[in-house]
Amino acid sequence: MKPVVSIQENNQALIQFESISLEEFNSWVEDKTDELNGLLYKHGSILFRGLPISGVVDFEYAISLLSGELKSYVDGNSPRTKLTGKTYTSTEYDQDHHITLHNELSYSSSWPEKLFFCCIEPAEIGGETPLADCRKVLQEMDKSFVDEVEAKGLVYIRNLHSGNGIGPSWQETYETNNKTDVENYLNESNTEFQWNKDDSLRIVQRRSGLEVHPKTNEKVWFNQIDQFHPVHLSSEIYETLLMLNGGNEEELPMYVTYGDGSKISPERVKQIESTVHKVSVSNKWEKGDLLMIDNVLVSHGRNPFKGKRKIIVSMS
């Protein structure tokens, strides 16, 4: 049962098992907790390969000691299907869509410490989950841009419809139909919000754009500028959304500015994309793979794919 531990070219820790039960895996995890945390903080992610995980029940059992208390996806902006109380499909975006790398919920007041992805069924072609070390991203990013983000901070704007519109509804985002529950959550997280006449909800979240890891004290690039900026939209979709929202970019389903309200140029967003691409790596999924990610140290995305693909995720 003794696993083989290796460090891949992408600096990811790979732990390979042969003929292990999930009971044996959890027993091993219990004995190796400190070592695994050390590997995670050093490399940002650990891929466990060779586990007999075939569905949600196996997955939740396999991560029970690694994860601690699981977190719901409340305040999330990616379309997902909830499979159990705290386990979701990784995303429901069209398989031709490339999801840019991001730190989960980095625009929110509360984000998960760890992410757990598991491959139930790998895609026939593509579908990798690319990763990027956010320490390297910060090092490689144009310094003048880093200084600007650090000095000004960021403002994320989301316009959530009430059940009939483009993008997620506030009911989906907060997993409730109760406005009071939503308001309590937003007030507790010091989030600015406004209900509109059509029952839609406008949210303004002010964040730093950089973060210091709570354990390693390393500063990292930590934001979702490129996902919220309209430059990621095709020109056709952008023009259509702009027309539907009176020509005001701040009325789009998602938008981002510097903390002082000034615009972030498309050129800056392209810098983010090129820098992240430069340091990102992708591994082909194998059935049963369990990927643990430190959500502050490492960002993740999804490559387009063909064929069936089922990746599930939980957060803690």
The residue type of 163 is G
The pLDDT of residue 75 is 84
Return the sign of the alpha-carbon dihedral for residues 186, 191, 192, 193. negative
Query: What number is the average pLDDT over the span 221-238?
Result: 83
3-state secondary structure the chain: CCCEEEECCCCCEEEECCCCCHHHHHHHHHHCHHHHHHHHHHHCEEEEECCCCCCHHHHHHHCHHHHCCCECCCCCCCCCCECCCCCEECCCCCCCCCEEEECCCCCCCCCCCEEEEEEEECCCEECCCCEEEHHHHHHHCCHHHHHHHHHHCEEEEEEEECCCCCCCEHHHHHCCCCHHHHHHHHHHCCCEEEECCCCCEEEEEEECCEEECCCCCCEEECCCHHHHCHHHCCHHHHHHHHHHCCCCHHHCCEEEEECCCCCCCHHHHHHHHHHHHHHCECCCCCCCCEEEEECCCEEEEECCEECCCEEEEEEC
pLDDT exceeds 90 at position 133: yes
Query: What number is the average pLDDT over the span 16-38?
Result: 94
Highest mean pLDDT pick, 76-85, 230-239, 253-262: 253-262
Query: What number is the average pLDDT over the span 214-227?
Result: 96
Band the pLDDT of 251: cuts 50, 70, 90: confident
Residue scoring higher pLDDT (183 or 82): 183
List, in order of start, the domains of the chain with CATH numbers.
4-93+110-123+284-315 (3.60.130.10), 135-276 (3.60.130.10)
The mean predicted confidence, pLDDT, of the chain is: 91
d(CA 33, CA 259): 40
The pLDDT of residue 72 is 81
The pLDDT of residue 10 is 64
The pLDDT of residue 167 is 83
Q: Which of 28-37, 65-74, 164-173, 303-312 has the lowest mean pLDDT?
A: 65-74
Query: What number is the average pLDDT over the span 217-239?
Result: 85
Query: What number is the average pLDDT over the span 86-112?
Result: 86
The pLDDT of residue 5 is 73
pLDDT exceeds 80 at position 300: yes
pLDDT exceeds 90 at position 235: no
Q: Which residues contact 192 (CB under 8 A, 6 or more apart)?
A: 203, 204, 205, 206
Q: Which residues contact 295 (CB under 8 A, 6 or more apart)?
A: 103, 104, 105, 111, 112, 113, 114, 115, 315
The pLDDT of residue 209 is 96
Query: What number is the average pLDDT over the span 36-65?
Result: 94
